[in-house]
A and B are shown apart, each in its own frame.
Chain A
Amino acid sequence: MIDVAVVATAQMPNVRSETRRNEVEMLMPVLQEVRERAGLDRTEIGFTCSGSTDYLSGQAFSFVSTLDGVGPWPPIQESHVEMDGAWALYEAWVKLQLGEVDTALVYSYGKSSPGPLHEVLSRQLDPYHVAPLWPDAISLAALQARALLESGRATEADLAEVACRSRRAALDNPNAQLRWDRSVEEHLAEEPIVDPLRRSDCPPITDGACAVILAAGDRARSLAARPAWIRGIDHRVEPMALGLRDLTTSASTHQAGQRAGVGDGPVDVAELHAPFTHQELILRAALGLDDHGNVNPSGGALAANPVMVAGLTRIAEVAQRILDGEAGRGVAHATSGPCLQQNLVCVLEGDR
């Protein structure tokens, strides 16, 4: 395989509601920043790939107008996935494997604020049998949380610990939306909103954007002092129907993690896309990171959860720590679909 690395990342500071700017206006500064950080002019990008979904803000073909922010002239080699930006990164990584181009821009954006997010996400579900009931994402996650709690592999205090640690970590993340320093006791004193989940077990609703530049081989070495090399990347999917899955584990994460080589070396940092507290515990188990001490130092999706962006952000967070020399080898994870239906795992590593 051709060695491909993340050489620059940029994020929009995550907010509850970006009320002034439309999507292209909100995305443009992020694209500009990531190009500046890589030292690349827009005409030097070999391939561009983005991830977004029409349903979030209610506009068909919304990615078409945001493409203006890239400045695709003269015409560019470009693609778009109706998936989290982590999968856009996957497509760009595949493209770079072909050896025809040696740089790629990956971005994603998500504006959840214009619509009723919980109703919108229910449009993902089985259109015959489930979507007509309009179940919300918190309720689905709560079913999973109860299954985990009743399996005896986690307690409500474990969930609270995840919430408190994540929001505390977010105090050091300028891009985070929710950050505070609260105790497990304070968390447990909250009334549940959908038993057994409390509001603090749930992610915020977020508008955000993220961009990453990939480069191959020597080009990566010329663009970054310490490129974050992608050592392994894989993604797998499960059936959507919750009744067909063991909700207390994540078989697809385990599968992707093994294929990406998570266990082939030390893990200095892991960023797991766990919108709900109990999901971090499920993902840790699936990746063999149960007792790991450095999971989601950014605060993770509990601190900011821009739909379609939060997965790419996990890769960006791990990559930036490697670029900055703070970490040697790290694991990033992205998820999509109800209750961790689809999962991507990416292992990144800096040169020694």
Chain B
Amino acid sequence: MGKERVAVVGVGQTKHQATRGDVSLAGLVREAAVRALEDAEMTWADVDAVVVGKAPDFFEGVMMPELYLADALGAVGKPLFRVHTAGSVGGSTAIVAAQLVQAGIHERVLTVAFEKQSDSEAMWALSLPIPFQPPMHAGAGGYFAPHVRSYMARSKAPDHIGILVALKDRTNALKNPYAHLHEHDISFDSIKDSIMLWDPIRYAETCPSSDGACAMVLASEAVADAAPGPVAWIHGTAMRSEPTMSADRDPVLPRGGADCARDVFAQAGITNPRRQVDCVEMYVPFSWFEPMWLENLGFAAPGEGWRLVEDGVTQLDGDLPVNMSGGVLSSNPIGASGMLRFAEAALQVRGRAGEHQVDGARTAVGHAYGGGSQFFAMWVVGSDKP
């Protein structure tokens, strides 16, 4: 026997914001989970198993918080599973949940990813100083900025590409009621004039720090066939990992990302992703990662990704829309960020993306990455049964 078919039959997410002062930790995750169940027209009792993902536990200061949240997530008497693969965790959590259906173990799996970053703060939780380690002089952006510079040098991309990406994503976010940042006055010049935090990365080209959660209900073919609304069929899932620091790795266009994309496209029967994929939701915490990932994932040749940005191909009304939801640049509850990408891809092929719907989207890609560009998770979803 091989893999069973699996589909996304429900999607839910919270309103993302810097501090969700109106909810408890349990209230935050339940807000997303209840919306996913309602979307699937299911109740807590219908769920067979719960798969939870989040990034470092230090954010909320709760060790293995899924145990505390077990009853809030309706998991009592059921299997409860917790994934942590750094920043890619939202994506890998969805994949682990999907596999429980694909393996024929469960019919309906609720998967939830979250981060309540306001319980502490990102600059603290992400850069806890470890004795004897070479000091990080500039936080997370200071790690990634040199790799962006390398990309610019290698690709000869002009400086304004990063601005164009940020403008697009923040503009898309205005159409997404759940997005954290709704910057109505955003403009090319306002981004250009924002402070160079980590030259070549401007402040307005970086992601915010958000409280938020995302949830999905994944279901077997029989359940999905009986679903009340459109579902997103999973055509392929893939994960790849590589070392943080090793001699032969390329931190700009990592082999793990390329291998992951090749694997997931092969599963989905996609030979020309640029033509066969209708829209992509990818993990872009700094604007320059859009052209980098376009190349890494095979949507453009090495050195050519920035041209898709400059030519408007990745705009919401372009030929290959990227980050229709506003992306990580507009909402970043870290543990949930990967799942939000996967969920947006599902919403698009279900025709449920609201104002940021891409007309006629039938095949969409969700992508997440984490660590020092070393953990990758992707899925391809489609309107049609694979």
Contacts and interface: CB of A to CB of B under 8 A. Distances in A.
B297 interface: no
Interface in B1-47: 1-3, 24-25
A337 interface: yes
B86 A61 contact: yes
Interface residues of B, number: 62
Nearest to A121: B63
Most buried by A among B24, B56, B84, B240: B84
A191 interface: no
A127 B62 contact: yes
A79 B2 contact: no
Contact of A240 (B70, B248, B375): B70
B67 A80 contact: no
Interface string B156-173: 000000000000000000
Interface stretch (A13-21, A51-59, A181-189, A220-228): A51-59
Interface string B71-83: 1000111111111
Q: Is the interface of A mostly helix, strand, loop or mixed?
A: mixed
B104 interface: yes
Contacts of A79: 83, 85, 92, 96, 239
Contact of A60 (B3, B58, B62, B71): B58
B68 A240 contact: yes
A123 B70 contact: no
Contacts of B125: 60
Contacts of A108: none
Nearest to B255: A75
Contacts of B56: 54, 60-61
B246 A73 contact: yes
Interface in B134-170: none
A79 B64 CA distance: 16
Contacts of A74: 242, 255, 259
Interface string B225-262: 00000000000001111111010110000111001100
B76 A98 contact: no
Interface stretch (A31-39, A87-95, A273-281): A87-95
A75 B67 contact: no
Interface string A113-125: 0000000110111
B60 interface: yes
A2 B102 CA distance: 13
B57 A54 contact: yes
A94 B259 contact: no
Interface string A85-116: 00100110011011110000000000000000
Tier of interface size on chain A: 35 or more
B50 to A, nearest CB: 9
Nearest to A55: B63
A244 B68 CA distance: 13
A94 B56 CA distance: 24
A131 interface: yes
A229 interface: no
A81 interface: yes
Nearest to A255: B77
A2 B92 CA distance: 23
B197 interface: no
Contacts of A99: 1-3
A294 interface: no
B371 interface: yes
Given A76-B240, A76-B241, A79-B83, A98 B102 contact: yes
A252 B238 CA distance: 32
A252 B240 CA distance: 33
B85 A80 contact: yes
A94 B105 contact: yes
A72 B85 CA distance: 14
Most buried by B among A79, A81, A234, A252: A79
A2 B78 CA distance: 23
A75 B63 contact: no
Contacts of A234: 79
A352 B125 CA distance: 53
A241 B71 CA distance: 9
Given A55-B57, A61-B56, A124 B82 contact: no
Contact of A128 (B24, B242, B254, B256): B24
B67 A240 contact: yes
Given A237-B70, A244-B71, A73 B242 contact: yes
Nearest to A122: B63
B103 A98 contact: yes
A342 interface: yes
Contacts of B85: 78-80
A64 interface: yes
A133 interface: no
Contacts of B130: 59
A60 B126 contact: yes
Interface in A232-256: 234-241, 244, 251-252, 255
B63 A124 contact: yes
A320 interface: no
A75 B81 contact: no
Given A1-B104, A79-B92, A53 B63 contact: yes
Contacts of A73: 242-243, 246, 248-249
A65 to B, nearest CB: 7
Interface in A297-352: 336-337, 341-342
A43 interface: no
22 contacts: A53-B57, A55-B64, A58-B128, A59-B128, A59-B130, A61-B56, A65-B244, A74-B259, A75-B254, A75-B260, A75-B376, A77-B241, A82-B57, A82-B82, A82-B83, A83-B64, A83-B82, A99-B3, A120-B63, A123-B57, A234-B79, A238-B76
Given A75-B242, A77-B241, 9 more contacts: A59-B128, A60-B58, A78-B241, A82-B66, A83-B81, A83-B82, A235-B80, A236-B77, A342-B70
